[in-house]
Structure 1
């Protein structure tokens, strides 16, 4: 039923600042933009990270961290966490060993969204099966 991650959307009250922050973090410019929205393609599968002006948030949406964390695979969680913190993110969940081959951490970006990072051996195994 669920075939794969397509887009993760983050709300922001300052879209220009969020675009600048994520461009610095990711090392790429948004590939798609329109008023109130910017979208990056990132990673091995070119998943989308969208930044949306919070004026377009659904009625009743609350500011700040929500109940879900999307984890992006990274090769070095401690180094990635250090970089995120150096760019102004705040620790949300500390670096945690979750078992052999699984390490996680998460931060809140300067705009209040939770960004999770993870070393996940299953992700690497999956990549190894691709032609």
Structure 2
């Protein structure tokens, strides 16, 4: 059986969220409808942005999950991404710090969804 893992992020405005994620990831969507847009992240992995499921999401609503971008480049790459995102005005919740699995930082998208940048295991 062939499987694919699709991580769905609920957003208020899928096209606006796709512009945000497209710029962060340096890629274009692989599939687009007005309320559902996906990015092909590689074999068997997609990121989907879905609007219309939770009208008027509030940043005050606790988010209990994260999209994690796992990088191969080590601390230098993580620090470079942190600097790049900071200069673009991305909201940063936690600056780079060393935790049990390596250097990581935490940001949020315009809907309050958490985005972690960390080393690949």
Q: Deviations over 1:81-113 (max 9, x none)?
A: 1222223321112211114x6111110112321
Q: Secondary structure at the match of 2:16?
A: helix
Alignment of 1:1-131 (within 5 A): 6-43=5-42, 45=43, 47-53=45-51, 55-57=52-54, 63-64=58-59, 65-74=62-71, 75=73, 76-99=77-100, 102-120=102-120, 123=121
Q: Quick one: distance in 2 between partners of 1:5 and 1:98?
A: 29
Calculate the TM-score normalised by the size of structure 1. 0.71
Calculate the TM-score normalised by the size of structure 2. 0.76
- The aligned length equals 113
Q: Quick one: distance in 1 between partners of 2:64 and 2:93?
A: 12
Q: Quick one: distance in 2 between partners of 1:90 and 1:5?
A: 30
Gap regions ≥5 residues in structure 2: none
